[in-house]
């Protein structure tokens, strides 16, 4: 199967990040390598990109697609960037990109369990070697924890009703597939439909909990001083308000402290043409900051 993931706001990000044509860059969320490939086409022969991802399958595809010796890949969370830089005796990078969330490769692959549209196992791990799956969460977490994640990570109005429905269903039989979960949420909503599928928020909440996504973003934001050189830049692309709020508040604080300069006063969104060609781009928000 030919997997694709169209890199979002690639030109805007390259214009911000690639100040040094032969510099050292980090792609903290390599995915299928779309951004890195775009950047390498613009960079010089001495440039280098260190690409990180929790998803080993994606890394393999990325390496084949990009096929460029200037890219080195690491199967690790972006929170390991400081450790890798230290091992390589490098003291900071010229630019870093974090394109948060999941790739189309993961979403469109039913075996990964992210999709509401295709049936598959309730997995949702970015890292297939990590112990916690969405199935474990749904079948073993207590009611109050299920309710909390649905509220906090899904901003789900029916959090209590859905958590109760999960508890009831799992007493009868374990919930093992995306279709079972989707049907359960549809029943809570009595088939009512808004602009998005009623299970969208539930799936989002489970994915965030399963991969500890917000904790990872907060940790990454706290280590920028350790990884970015003076004059270096950080670009973060987010796809929902929970992540964007973390980035916005952190960047504001860094700029107020005086060591960083905000390059995007307000979050930038993709151009209309890009959204028309790639629906995934519609909720993207880009924020960029520079270390003084």
Ligand X SMILES: C[S@@+](CC[C@H](N)C(=O)[O-])C[C@H]1O[C@@H](n2cnc3c(N)ncnc32)[C@H](O)[C@@H]1O
And the tokens for 185? Answer: 């949420």
Which stretch, 30-38, 41-49, 149-157, 260-268, contacts ligand X (CB under 6 A)? 30-38
Min dist. Cβ of residue 168 to ligand X (A): 32
101 binds ligand X (CB under 6 A): yes
> Which residue stretch of 48-56, 156-164, 172-180, 221-229 sits at the interface with ligand X (rule: CB under 6 A)?
48-56
Say whether residue 133 binds ligand X (CB under 6 A).
Answer: no
Tell which positions 139-168 bind ligand X, by CB under 6 A: none
- Residue 249 has, within 13 A of its CA and on its CB side, a CA count of 8
Q: Which residues contact 138 (CB under 8 A, 6 or more apart)?
A: 122, 146, 166, 170, 175, 181, 206
- The distance of closest approach from Cβ of residue 53 to ligand X in the complex, given in angstroms and rounded to an integer, is 4
**Contacting ligand X within 67-96 (CB under 6 A):** 77-78
Exposure letters 134-171 (e unless 16+ CB within 10 A, then b): bbebbbebeeeebbbbbbebbebebbebbbebbeebee
Verify binding: residue 33, ligand X, rule CB under 6 A. Answer: yes
Q: Is the Cβ–Cβ distance between 94 and 25 less than 8 Å?
A: yes
- DSSP-derived secondary structure letter, 113: S
Site string for ligand X, 203-242 (x = CB under 6 A): -------------x--------------------------
Residues that bind ligand X (CB under 6 A): 5, 7, 29, 31-35, 52-55, 58, 77-78, 99, 101-103, 126, 216
């Amino acid at each position: 199967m030919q997997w694709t993931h169209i890199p979002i706001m690639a030109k805007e990000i390259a214009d911000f990040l690639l100040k040094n044509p032969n510099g050292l860059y980090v792609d903290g969320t390599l995915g299928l390598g779309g951004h890195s490939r775009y950047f390498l086409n613009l960079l010089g022969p001495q440039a280098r990109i260190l690409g990180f991802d929790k998803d080993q399958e994606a890394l393999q595809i990325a390496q084949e697609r990009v096929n460029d010796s200037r890219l080195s890949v690491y199967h690790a969370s972006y929170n390991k960037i400081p450790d890798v830089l230290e091992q390589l005796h490098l003291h900071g990078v010229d630019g870093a990109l974090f394109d948060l969330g999941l790739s189309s490769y993961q979403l469109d692959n039913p075996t990964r369990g992210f999709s509401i549209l295709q049936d598959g196992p309730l997995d949702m791990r970015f890292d297939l070697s990590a112990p916690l799956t969405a199935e474990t969460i749904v079948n073993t977490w207590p009611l109050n924890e299920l309710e909390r994640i649905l509220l906090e990570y899904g901003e789900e109005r029916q959090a209590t009703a859905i958590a109760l429905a999960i508890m009831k269903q799992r007493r009868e039989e374990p919930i093992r597939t995306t279709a079972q979960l989707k049907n359960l949420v549809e029943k809570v909503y009595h088939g009512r439909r808004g602009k998005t599928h009623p299970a969208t928020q539930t799936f989002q909440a489970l994915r965030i909990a399963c991969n500890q996504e917000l904790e990872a973003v907060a940790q990454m934001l706290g280590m920028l001083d350790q990884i970015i050189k003076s004059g270096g830049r950080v670009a973060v692309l987010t796809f929902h308000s929970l992540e964007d709020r973390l980035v916005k508040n952190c960047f504001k604080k860094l700029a107020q402290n005086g060591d960083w300069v905000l390059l995007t006063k307000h979050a930038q969104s993709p151009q209309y043409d890009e959204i028309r060609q790639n629906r995934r781009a519609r909720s993207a928000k880009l924020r960029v900051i520079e270390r003084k």
